[in-house]
Amino acid sequence: EIRFGLGGLKGVGEMAIDNLITERKQNGPYADVFDFVKRALPRAMNKKSMESLAYSGAFDCFPALHRAQYFHTAEGERQSGLEKIMGYGQVHQSLSQGTSNTLFGDLPMAMHVPPCEPWTLTELLEHEKDVTGMFMSGHPLDHFKFELTHYGLTKLQDFNEIKDSQEAAKATGGKFFRLAGLVIDVQHRVTKMGKNFGVLVIEDFSGKSEFMLWSEDYIKFQNYLLKGKNIVLYGLFQQRFRNAEQFEFKIQSVSLLESLKQQMTRSIEISLHPASVHPEMLAFLEQNIRNYPGKSSLRFQVYDPREELRVQLFSVEKCVQMNDELVNYLVNNQDLELRVGLVG
């Protein structure tokens, strides 16, 4: 399966690609990354090319190492995993050519790449986009699909339709919008009067949108103006200063998307059939409430469609903080219908 052509990678030249493909056709697939550097270096790949391949995930077909290991330098060592691997390739080719001169000096033939913690999805995708220009293995918002679905967030595509129409913006009548997305661009500027302001672009699964932050708002929210952050914007359309006929979106607050569940969950409402109530589920919920005590009420609606009967159950004393463990359990249990009651 070809997901992205090597020719699109930053730092990987056409000659290098041709050499890699020719070598593979003539002598078969590369067994692992060590086999790769033995056969590809130095005539095809330099360090920058190797870094681009590692960042992009081109070496993911070699499961013995994950991407972070190529760039990790273990305590007490001077070389990263990638430098060790390249050194191995240089030594092997020098020996096969009957010379001891290498770029990295004399290195043992048996190489060990130290273990380390894998990158987070966000880190992995940021590196991936740097060399490919796009997200290949997922999207930084993948971890927040629950929030995007259950917390009253307006899709940016729908928001832009309102923003691009003064008539539609005026018709919102002071309605507040909650938007969420990945910060993909930030610009810090200064007006002719010497006042600071910022331009912010966020992206969700439906599209992207640009926002302006002026004067006090820029100062208040500038800690969130960082590329790669997942944020929530809350605001409304209001009349422009000195031009009552024009409407613009005014941001009232900015927060991190990762904290939305904890901040905005007033209640968790679960609808289910009586047959879906079983000891394992009750045991899980009881333990989760103990592990994550909070202020969000947990409510049940047990319904029997044949009897047309619905019973509401809830506890006044036991409340929970919305957490990933609970979310994963509820989302993956197809017998349950879930609704989140929001604060405010």
Question: Is pLDDT of 162 > 50?
Answer: yes
Same domain (yes/no): 127, 147: no
Question: Is pLDDT of 100 > 70?
Answer: no
* Owning domain of residue 191: 142-259
Same domain (yes/no): 103, 33: yes
Mean pLDDT of 38-59: 87
* pLDDT value for 107: 46
Question: Is pLDDT of 13 > 90?
Answer: no
Q: How confident is the model at residue 108 (pLDDT cuts 50, 70, 90)?
A: very low
Q: What is the CATH number of the domain that holds 188?
A: 2.40.50.140
Same domain (yes/no): 212, 267: no
* pLDDT value for 243: 84
Mean pLDDT of 215-239: 95
| Phi (first) and psi of residue 213, to 5 degrees | -125, 120
Same domain (yes/no): 291, 276: yes
Q: How confident is the model at residue 106 (pLDDT cuts 50, 70, 90)?
A: low
* pLDDT value for 245: 84
Residue 147 lies inside a defined structural domain of this protein: yes
What is the C-alpha to C-alpha distance for residues 218 and 222, in angstroms, rounded to an integer?
Answer: 6
Domain boundary among 200, 233, 259: 259
* pLDDT value for 6: 81
User: What's the structural domain count of the chain?
Assistant: 3
Distances (CA, A) of 113 to 27, 62, 80, 84: 26, 13, 8, 7
**Region for 121 from its dihedrals, namely left if φ exceeds 0, alpha if ψ lies in -120 to 50, beta otherwise:** alpha
* pLDDT value for 172: 94
Same domain (yes/no): 27, 125: yes
Q: What mean pLDDT value characterizes the chain?
A: 90
What is the C-alpha to C-alpha distance for residues 237 and 208, in angstroms, rounded to an integer?
Answer: 18
